[in-house]
Amino acid sequence: MSSQGTKGDVKDLSLAKDGVNRIEWAEREMGVLRLIKERFAAEKPLAGYKMSACLHVTTETANLALTLQAGGADLVLCASNPLSTQDDVAAALVAEYGIPTYSIKGEDNETYYQHISAALDHAPNYTMDDGADLVSSLHTQRSDLLSNVLGGTEETTTGVIRLTAMANDKKLNYPIIAVNEAETKHFFDNRYGTGQSTLDGITRATNLLWAGRRVVVGGYGWCGRGVASRARGLGAHVIVTEVNAVRALEAVMDGFTVMPGMEAAKVGEVFITVTGGLHTLSKAQMEIMPNGAIMANSGHFNVEIDIPALEEMATSHREVRPFVEEYTMPDGRRLYLLGEGRLINLAAAEGHPSAVMDMSFANQALGMEYLIQNKGKLEPGVYNVPAETDQEVGRLKLQSLGINIDTLTPDQQRYQDSWEEGT
């Protein structure tokens, strides 16, 4: 039963104390965000602005929310995925920190969109999104609110792709900063964060041994590189499938076996999709997968595995463990789908480690500040995080880790800047 009220809709407010403990634990690993929060508390750069954020409601997001609150923002939060909410965190945000939050782990699609609508009722001046469902709902269902909105940020690859398509169609009404494109985001969050936490989610759901296992990774982008290298690190034989020749070549030269999806389907034991695209695991592949094959997705939406085809083919299905659904095929083979095909690292584990979300969310906070500083100066469209912000986040992360680096001497700088000097 949910605890619904004027300040949000969460599963159970009595979970709040556990949420606070875990939010504080995550904060220890988020040194960059801590520095930004201290500055925001003193300078209040976000004061006077309403924000609606649609993010995975995790301990790290709570620390971002507290940073925005410290900066003076009037913030409301909803989930960016029906299965990624940490209910104790949602309870803590409402009961302990006074941040209205609309999210319940396992909510159905209807509730998911009701929660997005509730966050939009806040009539935001700024949006913060992860996957672009909030921005898409705002433009299609709640366009009456668009005139209030001055800008927004977007967290992930899939969201940036959707927003770029909207901008190309001249349908995007305001400027949005693509946090995903910051080097201090995708180099670390997508690669190391998704890499580690995807295997964590699959391990927690199944308790499988990775060593010696044939693991097929669909997509060798930022996330795929991380997933493949972490699986190899645990002793798996990793096969990569790709549609992009350069990325496929990179996988080959990184030492992975590359083959078409239909060939991989015959030999794989664990299949992990991270493409952001439709039906990376298709009906035809499921028809030839070995008995016992496990399928998991860590891409943003639950469309990478053709679940409707799986359901249609199966003669029966049942839940065999939390987050593990067994589908029996007409020929007797059993295939396993993890976490309803939703991002497995958030469904069955805790999402990315805090230390990596520290940088992604530092970019979110600084992106918001940048938008406010440049209010009215940016045309509608999708913008990269300014290079200085990226450098600043990298510098602060190193500082928080106690690591110093060199700087160019004046001679070295002059050499870099000149075109006349050769050998």
CB of 77 to ligand NAD, least distance (A): 18
Which residue, 40 or 271, has its beta carbon nearer to ligand NAD? Answer: 271
**What is d(CA 421, CA 358) in angstroms, rounded to the nearest whole number?**
41
Which residue, 175 or 224, has its beta carbon nearer to ligand NAD? Answer: 224
Contact between 236 and 215 under an 8 Å Cβ cutoff? The reply is yes
Question: Of these, 302, 345, 354, 364, which contacts ligand NAD (CB under 6 A)?
Answer: 345
Handedness of CA 338, 341, 343, 348 (dihedral sign): negative
Residue type, 153: T
Based on its alpha-carbon atoms, the radius of gyration of the chain, rounded to whole angstroms, reads 22
Task: Tell me if 205 contacts ligand NAD by CB under 6 A.
Answer: no
| Number of amino acids touching ligand NAD (CB under 6 A) | 30
Task: Tell me if 241 contacts ligand NAD by CB under 6 A.
Answer: yes
Which residue, 34 or 186, has its beta carbon nearer to ligand NAD? Answer: 186
Q: Which stretch binds ligand NAD (CB under 6 A): 11-19, 240-248, 310-318, 391-399?
A: 240-248
Q: Which stretch binds ligand NAD (CB under 6 A): 25-33, 242-250, 310-318, 393-401?
A: 242-250
Sequential DSSP letters for 332-372? S-EEEEEGGGS-HHHHTS--S-HHHHHHHHHHHHHHHHHHH
CB of 277 to ligand NAD, least distance (A): 4
Place of tokens 């670390």: 188
Which residue, 203 or 374, has its beta carbon nearer to ligand NAD? Answer: 203
Question: Of these, 343, 359, 371, 382, which contacts ligand NAD (CB under 6 A)?
Answer: 343
Q: Which residue is nearest to ligand NAD (CB)?
A: 221
CB of 192 to ligand NAD, least distance (A): 11
CB of 190 to ligand NAD, least distance (A): 4
Which has the closest alpha carbon to 191: 252, 303, 274, 278? 274
Question: How many CB atoms lie under 10 A from the CB of residue 7?
Answer: 17
Applying the rule CB under 6 A, the residues between 392 and 421 that interact with ligand NAD are none
Applying the rule CB under 6 A, the residues between 275 and 294 that interact with ligand NAD are 275-277, 280
Q: In terms of DSSP bridges, do strands 175-178 and 101-102 run parallel, antiparallel, or are they unpaired?
A: unpaired
Handedness of CA 148, 152, 154, 159 (dihedral sign): positive
Which residue, 61 or 298, has its beta carbon nearer to ligand NAD? Answer: 298
For the sheet with 237-241, list strands across it: 257-258, 237-241, 214-218, 270-273, 294-297, 334-338, 324-328, 316-321
Question: Of these, 31, 219, 339, 341, which contacts ligand NAD (CB under 6 A)?
Answer: 219
Q: In terms of DSSP bridges, do strands 334-338 and 324-328 run parallel, antiparallel, or are they unpaired?
A: antiparallel
Per-residue contact flags (x/-) with ligand NAD for residues 123 to 162, judged by CB under 6 A? ---------------------------------xxx----
In 374-417, which residue ranges form alpha helices assigned H by DSSP? 387-400, 410-417
**What is d(CA 328, CA 291) in angstroms, rounded to the nearest whole number?**
9
Q: Which stretch binds ligand NAD (CB under 6 A): 2-10, 71-79, 239-247, 306-314?
A: 239-247
**What is d(CA 228, CA 241) in angstroms, rounded to the nearest whole number?**
11
Contact between 357 and 27 under an 8 Å Cβ cutoff? The reply is no
Contact between 349 and 201 under an 8 Å Cβ cutoff? The reply is yes
In 329-353, which residue ranges form alpha helices assigned H by DSSP? 344-347
Per-residue contact flags (x/-) with ligand NAD for residues 75 to 104, judged by CB under 6 A? ------------------------------
Task: Tell me if 195 contacts ligand NAD by CB under 6 A.
Answer: no
Which residue, 72 or 353, has its beta carbon nearer to ligand NAD? Answer: 353
**What is d(CA 111, CA 129) in angstroms, rounded to the nearest whole number?**
18
CB of 233 to ligand NAD, least distance (A): 18
Per-residue contact flags (x/-) with ligand NAD for residues 25 to 64, judged by CB under 6 A? ----------------------------------------
Residue type, 58: T
Contact between 56 and 346 under an 8 Å Cβ cutoff? The reply is yes
User: What residues line the site for ligand NAD (CB under 6 A)?
Assistant: 156-158, 186, 189-190, 194, 218-224, 241-244, 247, 274-277, 280, 298-300, 343, 345, 352
